[in-house]
Amino acid sequence: MDTSERPRAAVVVTGSELLTGAISDRNGPFLAKALGELGFEVAHLLVVGDRPDDLAAALTFVADAGVALIVTSGGLGPTADDLTAEVVASFAGVDLELDEAMREHIAGILAGWAARTGFDGPALEDANRKQAMVPRGAVALTPVGTAPGLVVPRAGGPLVVVLPGPPRELQGVWPSALESAPVRKLLATVPAAQSRELRFFGFPESEIAATLREIGATRDLSGVEVTTCLRRSELEVDIRPLPGAEDVAEQLHAELAARHAKHLVSAEGTTTDELLARALLERGLTVATGESCTGGMLASRLVDLAGSSAYVAGGVVAYSNEAKTALLGVPAEMIAEHGAVSPEVARALADGARERFGADIGVGITGVAGPGGGTEAKPVGYVCFCVTTSDGLVLARDPRLPGSRADIRERSTDTAMHLLLRAAGGLPRR
Amino acid sequence: MDTSERPRAAVVVTGSELLTGAISDRNGPFLAKALGELGFEVAHLLVVGDRPDDLAAALTFVADAGVALIVTSGGLGPTADDLTAEVVASFAGVDLELDEAMREHIAGILAGWAARTGFDGPALEDANRKQAMVPRGAVALTPVGTAPGLVVPRAGGPLVVVLPGPPRELQGVWPSALESAPVRKLLATVPAAQSRELRFFGFPESEIAATLREIGATRDLSGVEVTTCLRRSELEVDIRPLPGAEDVAEQLHAELAARHAKHLVSAEGTTTDELLARALLERGLTVATGESCTGGMLASRLVDLAGSSAYVAGGVVAYSNEAKTALLGVPAEMIAEHGAVSPEVARALADGARERFGADIGVGITGVAGPGGGTEAKPVGYVCFCVTTSDGLVLARDPRLPGSRADIRERSTDTAMHLLLRAAGGLPRR
């Protein structure tokens, strides 16, 4: 097989706060995805603290790993621990210079901000000057916030793209980084990526591994990289060919989809959320929710996509028994007889939500999210789901879900989305 | 000042799926936080793909950075790309051996799983054997899932703790890793951490920077590391002393709290969510929500904490105008006159939720989350909040929030939580 390696790239995220575990890094995943879609193989993603020596060591490490491109995020802010521009300049062997046009541009942004917030004074002036310092020979990118991005060439490579840390600013500056001359020149050498995805529900990773071994025993799969991951209770399988192995990837993709059709949700990269939105819009259907243990998480997930007002009628979070009865018409005697966590109450929540909101599809969820409240008959993780439709379909499940309180609530939301997709006709209605 | 460096640690997370951007790494932040609390300085957090050479290079890089401890996650699974045990054994210069007791232990777990799911056969046997291979001289930790953790000493250091990738398994095995003899021996040499936190709302990072410069001009702050990060619309300030600088950190903490008292939410590490739960429980108050643009996100956030059934009465997601009127009694003529996004409707949503659920505090949110639907008078990001209480308090806000649809909904939820904290008496009621 005629395959060659893809050029490699690395992401270096700075921020001591990311090493205290206080917040999760959002820039690394964003950049890794973007670089993969451009055709790079992402070799490393590093998070380093706001210490110049550690950042310098990280840049040298990924350069030694043979990457053609490094993208950094963070450390362009106004505080003394924001040192990325300086360290990258030193890495590239050049000095920092004040970019007067950029200083004026940032001054204008800061003036507007000071007028709005009432914060002003010498702190702002220092910040302004600091953020307008640019490595000689670098391309400064117009800021979305107050920190400009930088594209810094280094003799002998790699090219370094320096982006601000706030995710909104980073994502705002990214397109202009791609349009800069040095990045365009590099991208012209990168072969296009043709990743293919499969998504399965209720299906273990070990089965995909076994199928791959079986297929791999009869023909050469070495030109494709297959990665699997569990996300939102679905097994995502990503098939990425090296240049020259596109046919192998296509055939493997078709074979996995056919062999495991029963568990297949999607074979072209669409998520359950997108499929559900599409199915509801195409059929002109609306949804209403009656949630107990998930506490609004399902409604919130349905509203995530723009345009969801066309198909989300609304929902009730009926956490107490009184609310279940008063707002969704669940009979108090039903709760007394079967318990608040029961298939009967799940169905009454679904019917109640559907009727109160005048929707086509209703979904009810009631379960024991824990950590307390479990019994032998209804342990922590026992969750009852019911989806009912105005044309008489009833889909019910009552699994015991593993994990913590947060896990159980998330998995409950995943399961409900999957049942809704069946009810909306986006998957077989069973 | 008599301060010395803390011992350093590094986290190496494996998984090609984390480099495609498909999912965010949860293990890195968990481990970084845990290591920081144990008194280590976390030097680096690396994410590498499932390629043995890249993992080996990462281990060598952090060893060269002078860390005393490396914790890895992932790559212990059943598939061929799960190679961490092998690479770490080679890094430590020892061979892998089959641990027969561990093989039997895992076989027992897999048998139960196979009986429950119906998946069985040679794929499972291979997985079993592979997952019971242990580097010579290592401590094997009893698995929570099917993959055992490992504690692998290396001549000349660092010590390597190898943990499974699924966050639930990793967090389940972590305590036994800490209790293993090699880790206990290392921990005995690590000085205790005494990190101090401050949390501010509606306060820019540059002001903290200016205050730190001002204080730093009059006395030596070099023994403390101050990190700031914006999380859930709050500025978190973390003050961490090197050994010997505990008094400097304590004084600085008190000074920042006093200088910026107006914006202070908490000075002892508690979050708004915890403070709100505490205030509601102490006063025996209940909350009900009436949400439009946030679509259940606020209710879901209120339900996040265990025990929330004591103070969450419930909520309505009233996404359509009809639902606002039918379920929460918002007068149709009010919507017609002022628009669905208006301070008047926010108040009616709050009052309606409070009355329907018989709660002490009601909160209403209505806004333009975008990307469509904005007008000149009510642009994308314009959100109206109102919190009303049964004792007559009314807190109203109508800011224009920046960012994407997801940002606006999250910031709206943050703002509502902050207003609820004021209404519940956890902060001044204004």
- Give B 347-366 residues with CB within 8 A of chain A: 356-358
Higher-scoring residue by pLDDT: B257, B80: B257
Amino acid in position A213: R
pLDDT over 60 (residue A4): no
> For residue A307, which residues of chain B lie inside 8 Å, CB to CB?
372
How confident is the model at residue A397, as a pLDDT? 96
pLDDT band at residue A384 using 50, 70 and 90 as cut-offs: very high
Cα(A363)–Cα(B297) distance, integer angstroms = 17
A229 with B22: Cβ contact below 8 A:
yes
Helix (H, G, I), strand (E, B) or coil at B165: coil
Cα(A75)–Cα(A153) distance, integer angstroms = 19
> Which of A29, A314, A322 minimises the CB distance to B323?
A314
> For residue B62, which residues of chain A lie inside 8 Å, CB to CB?
none
Q: What is the DSSP string of B64-97?
A: HTT-SEEEEE---SSSTT--HHHHHHHHHT--EE
Assess B407–A contact: CB distance below 8 Å, yes or no. yes
Poorest-pLDDT segment among A1-10, A20-29, A36-45, A328-337 = A1-10
Chain A nearest-CA distance from B425, in A, is 24
Residue pLDDT, tens place only, B234-244 = 888 989 888 88
Question: What would the two tokens of residue B80 be?
Answer: 């061929």
Site from B19, B302, B366 to mutate, A interface, most A CB atoms within 10 angstroms: B19
pLDDT over 90 (residue A328): yes
- Give B 92-111 residues with CB within 8 A of chain A: none
Q: Which CATH superfamily is domain A272-423 in?
A: CinA-like (3.90.950.20)
> For residue A359, which residues of chain B lie inside 8 Å, CB to CB?
none
Assess A217–B contact: CB distance below 8 Å, yes or no. no
Say if residues B252 and B218 touch (Cβ distance below 8 Å). no
B425 dihedral zone (left: phi>0; alpha: psi -120 to 50; beta): left
Residue pLDDT, tens place only, B120-146 = 666 677 777 888 889 999 999 988 877
How confident is the model at residue A209, as a pLDDT? 81
The position carrying tokens 């992401």 is A11
pLDDT over 70 (residue A286): yes
Assess B58–A contact: CB distance below 8 Å, yes or no. yes
Amino acid in position A281: L
Cα(A384)–Cα(A292) distance, integer angstroms = 10
> Which of A24, A78, A210 minimises the CB distance to B123?
A210
Assess A118–B contact: CB distance below 8 Å, yes or no. no
A227 with B50: Cβ contact below 8 A:
yes
> Which of A31, A207, A319 minimises the CB distance to B119?
A207
Assess A56–B contact: CB distance below 8 Å, yes or no. no
pLDDT over 50 (residue A3): no
Amino acid in position A217: A
How confident is the model at residue B22, as a pLDDT? 65
B227 with A32: Cβ contact below 8 A:
no
How confident is the model at residue A389, as a pLDDT? 97
B318 → chain A, closest CA residue: A314
Cα(A11)–Cα(A33) distance, integer angstroms = 11
Mean local confidence (pLDDT), B384-394: 97
pLDDT band at residue B3 using 50, 70 and 90 as cut-offs: very low
> Which of A119, A124, A299 minimises the CB distance to B317?
A299
> For residue B315, which residues of chain A lie inside 8 Å, CB to CB?
296, 316-317
pLDDT band at residue B118 using 50, 70 and 90 as cut-offs: low
Higher-scoring residue by pLDDT: B282, B128: B282
CA distances, A241 to each of A244, A259, A264, B16, B168 (Å): 7, 20, 21, 14, 32
Q: Between A and B, how many CB-CB pairs are < 8 A?
A: 330
Assess B120–A contact: CB distance below 8 Å, yes or no. no
Assess B112–A contact: CB distance below 8 Å, yes or no. no
**For residue B396, which phi and psi values (nearest 5 degrees)?**
-130, 145
User: How buried is residue B113: exposed, middle or buried, by Cβ count under 10 Å (0-12/13-18/19+)?
Assistant: middle
Q: Mean pLDDT of all residues in chain B?
A: 90
Assess A114–B contact: CB distance below 8 Å, yes or no. no
Q: What is the 3-state secondary structure (H, E, C) of A309-348?
A: HHCEEEEEECCCHHHHHHHHCCCHHHHHHHCCCCHHHHHH
- Give B 134-193 residues with CB within 8 A of chain A: 166, 168
Question: What would the two tokens of residue B200 be?
Answer: 């501010």
Count CB neighbours of B285 within 10 A. 20
Mention every residue, 6+ apart, whose C-beta is less than 8 A from residue A366.
A292, A293, A340, A341, A342, A345, A346, A349, A383, A384
Higher-scoring residue by pLDDT: A217, B229: A217
Kindly give the residue spans of alpha helices, DSSP state H, lying in A133-241. 167-179, 181-187, 205-218
> Which of B19, B34, B122 minimises the CB distance to A32?
B19
How confident is the model at residue B103, as a pLDDT? 87
A289 with B317: Cβ contact below 8 A:
yes
pLDDT over 80 (residue A112): no
B54 with A31: Cβ contact below 8 A:
no
Q: What is the DSSP letter of A375?
A: -
Mean local confidence (pLDDT), A65-80: 88
A45 with B50: Cβ contact below 8 A:
no
A295 dihedral zone (left: phi>0; alpha: psi -120 to 50; beta): left
Assess A236–B contact: CB distance below 8 Å, yes or no. yes
Q: Mean pLDDT of all residues in chain A?
A: 90
- Range ranked top by mean pLDDT from B33-42, B232-241, B362-371: B362-371
Q: Where are the domains of chain B?
A: 8-187, 196-266, 272-423
CA distances, B418 to each of A393, B21, B266, B385, B397 (Å): 42, 32, 12, 11, 11
A44 with B58: Cβ contact below 8 A:
yes
B406: Cα within 13 Å, side-chain hemisphere: 6
How confident is the model at residue A149, as a pLDDT? 92
Cα(B130)–Cα(A306) distance, integer angstroms = 46
> For residue A30, which residues of chain B lie inside 8 Å, CB to CB?
21
pLDDT over 70 (residue A116): no
Which CATH number is B196-266 given? Answer: 3.30.70
Poorest-pLDDT segment among A2-11, A287-296, B86-95, B102-111 = A2-11
- Give A 324-343 residues with CB within 8 A of chain B: 326-327
Assess A398–B contact: CB distance below 8 Å, yes or no. no
Selection from B428, B79, B20 nearest residue B262 by Cα = B428
A297 → chain B, closest CA residue: B300
> Which of B117, B208, B306 minimises the CB distance to A405?
B306
Assess B317–A contact: CB distance below 8 Å, yes or no. yes
Q: Buried b / exposed e across B413-425, counting CB within 10 Å, b at 16+? A: bbbbbbbbbbbbe
> For residue B228, which residues of chain A lie inside 8 Å, CB to CB?
17, 79
The position carrying tokens 């508690």 is B270
Site from A195, A317, A349, A366 to mutate, B interface, most B CB atoms within 10 angstroms: A317
Chain B nearest-CA distance from A374, in A, is 13
pLDDT band at residue B367 using 50, 70 and 90 as cut-offs: very high
Helix (H, G, I), strand (E, B) or coil at A262: helix
Percent above pLDDT 90 for chain A: 64
Poorest-pLDDT segment among A56-70, B107-121, B272-286, B356-370 = B107-121
**For residue A170, which phi and psi values (nearest 5 degrees)?**
-60, -50
> Which of A15, A54, A319 minimises the CB distance to B314?
A319
pLDDT band at residue B1 using 50, 70 and 90 as cut-offs: very low
Assess A270–B contact: CB distance below 8 Å, yes or no. no
Site from B316, B328, B408 to mutate, A interface, most A CB atoms within 10 angstroms: B316
> Which of B195, B226, B297 minimises the CB distance to A300?
B297
* Class of CATH domain B8-187: alpha beta
The position carrying tokens 């409950």 is A412
CA distances, A44 to each of A191, B50, B55, B58, B59 (Å): 20, 11, 9, 9, 12
